[in-house]
Amino acid sequence: MGYIENLRKVIGNQPLILVGAVVAVIDDNGRILLQKKTNGVWNIPGGLLELEESTEEAARREVFEETGIKIGELELVNVYSGKQFFNKLANGDEFYPVTIAYLSRDIQGGELKADGIETLEAAFFHLNELPQKVSPLVNKLVQHYNEMVS
């Protein structure tokens, strides 16, 4: 059982502040790696930290677990937090995420595949040909990346 599950045993559904990391992975063709989540929305890979884990370690772990891709170097893009990111899950759990967003152009290997649990599909998309149902975070990161390269 993980850290968050153990916390939930003690406090139930009360709101928590949880720290997570996400990564906009860009391949050599300038395409971004997206994952189709179980809710049908395309997002970038990422997830919550476990105890003793750095945000960088969590970012790399989540990308690999969810998409099969191994990444190296990470570049800090931004930190997202606040009431506009509040989440209430179907089971009643509530949390305010603090999300550290990274960019990586350092794909080191692996085989692109969805994990079938959190990720229904995983694919690279050209930045001007994104799927219709993308998370707002994807749009923010694509905008940031375009500003960096122009």
Strands (E) in the chain, as ranges, are 16-25, 31-37, 42-43, 46-48, 69-71, 75-80, 87-88, 94-104, 107-110, 119-126
Stated length of the chain: 150
Q: Which of the following is catalytic: 57, 118, 121, 129?
A: 121
Is 121 labeled as catalytic in the residue annotation?
yes
Residues classed as catalytic: 121
